[in-house]
């Protein structure tokens, strides 16, 4: 009789014990926003510029998220620096392999050039029907001011040590040897880009001639699926809910700022240098976006 009463009391206590801590935690997907032109500098006009220095902490935090099931890359970039594209992609891939966490990339308006390079570090890539995908090529652009200088009567005075220090100087007449040198660099970078595409996409690339895939052309999401450049048409929320269930949670990762930066809304640059930097960055950014009609 005593044993029975004791058992009943224990059962009552167990029934009243909160069960939250025993329940399975909801799955979490860490979201890394990759929006903007890829460049080594700063500037905040028309989206943040993307570089490893600014993203390293965010990437690390993403893979340290509690109850992490996957990392999602929200990509909206027309490209930019091939070096920064490569460095960012390598860092994400290194942590994904170390932590054994799957990575999925989702294209928004544009995943082109360096933006597609970023998407390639994911295990799978998805896009909207109307997303612009591709631009697997290398481009350099600049201006020549020799005619203008002659018109306004300005003389160019430049002095250098080393015969190759003044290659492609915009204030001097263009030299054929300089153009050949630039094209050689572009071809080497293009080969590296193509090799990364083939490494990451593998057998998923459809049997197409390299001339078509790597011409620098772009395609909509639907055509990109046909070419094997991406894995399907989907959006992040729908895909993750289907894969991990209705209770999946999204953790958006954003850069941290000091109290001083948050209070005054300033970066590490002075007001003057920041204004000049933003003006230059804005012109460069617009040139990248305008290539895709945006």
149 and 233 inside one domain = no
Asked if residue 237 is part of any domain, the answer here is yes
Mean pLDDT of 138-143: 61
173 and 109 inside one domain = no
Q: pLDDT value at position 164? A: 62
Higher pLDDT, 152 or 185: 185
146: confidence class by pLDDT, cuts 50, 70, 90 = low
Question: In the predicted model, is pLDDT for residue 132 greater than 70?
Answer: yes
Question: pLDDT (tens digit, 9 = 90+) per residue, 85-125?
Answer: 999 999 999 999 999 999 999 999 999 999 999 999 999 99
86 and 177 inside one domain = no
Lowest mean pLDDT of 65-69, 101-105, 133-137, 195-199, name the range: 133-137
118 and 228 inside one domain = yes
C-beta of residue 82 within 8 angstroms of C-beta of residue 118: no
Asked if residue 210 is part of any domain, the answer here is no
Asked if residue 9 is part of any domain, the answer here is no
Asked if residue 174 is part of any domain, the answer here is yes
Question: In the predicted model, is pLDDT for residue 129 greater than 90?
Answer: yes
Asked if residue 264 is part of any domain, the answer here is yes
128 and 143 inside one domain = no
C-beta of residue 86 within 8 angstroms of C-beta of residue 40: no
DSSP 228: T
How many beta carbons lie within 10 A of that of residue 42, not counting itself?
Answer: 18
CA atoms within 13 A on the CB side of 51: 11
Most confident among 56-70, 167-181, 255-269 (mean pLDDT): 56-70
99 and 36 inside one domain = yes
State the average pLDDT for the chain.
78
128 and 39 inside one domain = yes
| CB-based burial label for 125 (10 Å; 0-12, 13-18, 19+) | buried
Question: In the predicted model, is pLDDT for residue 59 greater than 90?
Answer: yes
pTM reported for the whole predicted model: 0.74
CA atoms within 13 A on the CB side of 148: 5
Q: pLDDT value at position 107? A: 97
116 and 151 inside one domain = no
Domain around 145: 138-195
Higher pLDDT, 165 or 75: 75
225 and 276 inside one domain = yes
216: confidence class by pLDDT, cuts 50, 70, 90 = confident
123 and 33 inside one domain = yes
Question: In the predicted model, is pLDDT for residue 250 greater than 50?
Answer: yes
């Amino acid at each position: 009789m005593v044993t029975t009463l004791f058992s009943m009391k224990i059962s009552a206590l167990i029934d009243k014990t909160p069960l939250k801590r025993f329940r399975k935690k909801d799955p979490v997907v860490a979201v890394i926003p990759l929006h903007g032109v890829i460049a080594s500098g700063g500037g905040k006009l028309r989206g943040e510029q993307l570089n490893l220095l600014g993203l390293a902490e965010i990437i690390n935090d993403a893979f340290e998220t509690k109850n992490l099931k996957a990392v999602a890359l929200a990509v909206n970039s027309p490209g930019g620096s091939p070096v920064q594209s490569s460095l960012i992609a390598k860092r994400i891939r290194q942590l994904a392999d170390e932590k054994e966490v799957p990575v999925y990339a989702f294209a928004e308006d544009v995943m082109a050039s360096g933006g597609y390079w970023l998407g390639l570090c994911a295990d799978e890539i998805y896009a909207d029907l109307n997303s612009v995908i591709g631009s697997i090529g290398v481009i350099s652009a600049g201006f020549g001011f020799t005619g203008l200088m002659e018109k306004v009567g300005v003389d160019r005075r430049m002095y250098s040590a080393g015969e190759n220090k003044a290659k492609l100087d915009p204030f001097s007449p263009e030299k054929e040897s300089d153009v050949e040198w630039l094209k050689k660099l572009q071809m080497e970078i293009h080969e590296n880009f193509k090799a990364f595409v083939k490494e990451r996409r593998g057998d998923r690339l459809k049997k197409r001639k390299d001339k078509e895939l790597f011409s620098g052309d772009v395609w909509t999401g639907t055509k990109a699926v046909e070419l094997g450049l991406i894995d399907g048409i989907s959006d992040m929320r729908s895909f993750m809910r289907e894969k991990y269930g209705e209770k999946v949670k999204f953790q958006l990762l954003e850069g941290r700022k000091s109290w001083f930066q948050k209070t005054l809304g300033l970066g590490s640059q002075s007001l003057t240098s920041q204004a000049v930097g933003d003006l230059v960055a804005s012109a460069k950014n617009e040139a990248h976006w305008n290539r895709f009609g945006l």
